Amino acid sequence: MTTRKGDAARAFGGAAIAATLIALGGTALLAGLAPRSAQAATLTDEQIKEAKAIADLGAVLARAAKGDYERAKWDPIHFKPAIDYAKDEACLVCHKEILSAKPRAASPAGVKATQVEAWYQTLDTYAGAQEDFHWRHLQSPYSKQVMTLSCNFCHQGNDTREESPHVLTPAAANSDWPKAASNFTLRKMVNPSETCLRCHGAFPGENMGLPAKWEDTREALETPETPNGCLTCHAEQFRLNRHAVTYLHGQKIEELGKTSSDVCYGCHGGRQWYRISYPYPRHPWQGMPDDTPDWAKDRSKESDARFALPKK
């Protein structure tokens, strides 16, 4: 069965089928359907051509020029497989506002943003005032140095009507995330466990045999000559093959990391929104011990195929 066709028509079809299934046999039946093994099924040449035609900038401009809000809201570029071929420019034809959005200067209760400081704003790498979320990930000078996120890194399709991945069955089954994690989660526009968590998880101290808090280790390791305590262990000993993915600037990260551990810590605990950390792939490195620790038993040995760097 060819299932990687999450266009709007199919999406509605999926919703209708899902509703019938719930009426018939409850959600258990539905749950059985969702993680279809056709995950990342290969598309036929014809399907790829179709997806590229939908994502084509010229075609997007033509559809946008019609100014039909209802059609645009369900434009097939929002869904698999077309979204995989969408360049940022194509999304921005209709969503330019996200480049200029600003947070409020003061909270509704009157607290000025300039008078408060969040803990992550104390990182050495933080510059400027509080900014819009999209700006911090796509446009801030620092983000441009360490990463290169595109719209479809995070946005893999979403459902503006039900906001549930379980209703949009075809899209849910067409995931390119590890272990077929859903393209977005309930009432979210993305899947936070596969996006945010990668760079906003907790410091994985227990996996390193270190205290859970980096502050408890940091002071003992860092001097003006060795400003990055992480490199005490991560320059020559452990997990040396890292960041070889399309959405990070791996070399630049190592370069910037020479002067401050806040570069590393920033993405590995210093901007923590979660109590857990991401289960990173565990790339073999020279001198890696033969026996795998328990916590690492389920880990992949390579980065997601979706983000693999082109082979030289």
Q: Under rule CB under 6 A, which residues in 239-278 are in contact with ligand HEC?
A: 239, 242-243, 245, 247-248, 253-254, 257, 261, 263-268, 271, 277
- C-alpha 40 chain-centroid distance: 17
| Nearest of 10, 3, 7 to residue 82 by alpha carbon | 7
Residues 6 or more apart in contact with residue 230 via CB below 8 angstroms: 257, 261, 264, 265
Among 63, 180, 183, 193, binds ligand HEC (CB under 6 A): 63
- C-alpha 47 chain-centroid distance: 25
52 binds ligand HEC (CB under 6 A): no
Q: Are 227 and 261 in contact (CB under 8 A)?
A: yes
Number of residues that bind ligand HEC (CB under 6 A): 88
DSSP for 220-241, written as a single string: HH--SS---TTHHHHTTTS--S
- Interactions with ligand HEC, residue window 133-192 (CB under 6 A): 133-134, 136-138, 140, 142-143, 146-147, 149, 151-155, 158, 160, 189-190, 192
Binding mask 271-310 for ligand HEC (x = CB under 6 A): x-----x--xxxx---------x--x------x-------
Among 43, 48, 72, 113, binds ligand HEC (CB under 6 A): 72
Q: Which is nearer to ligand HEC, 142 or 177 (CB)?
A: 142
- Interactions with ligand HEC, residue window 204-233 (CB under 6 A): 204, 207-208, 210, 214, 217, 221, 229-230, 232-233
Q: Which is nearer to ligand HEC, 138 or 180 (CB)?
A: 138
**Helix boundaries (H) for 147-285:** 151-154, 169-173, 196-200, 215-221, 231-234, 250-257, 261-265
Distance CA 79, CA 195 (A): 17
Structure tokens at 107: 């909270």
Q: Which is nearer to ligand HEC, 36 or 252 (CB)?
A: 252
- Interactions with ligand HEC, residue window 73-132 (CB under 6 A): 73, 75, 77-78, 83, 86, 88, 90-95, 98, 101, 125-126, 130-131
| Nearest of 118, 91, 92 to residue 103 by alpha carbon | 118
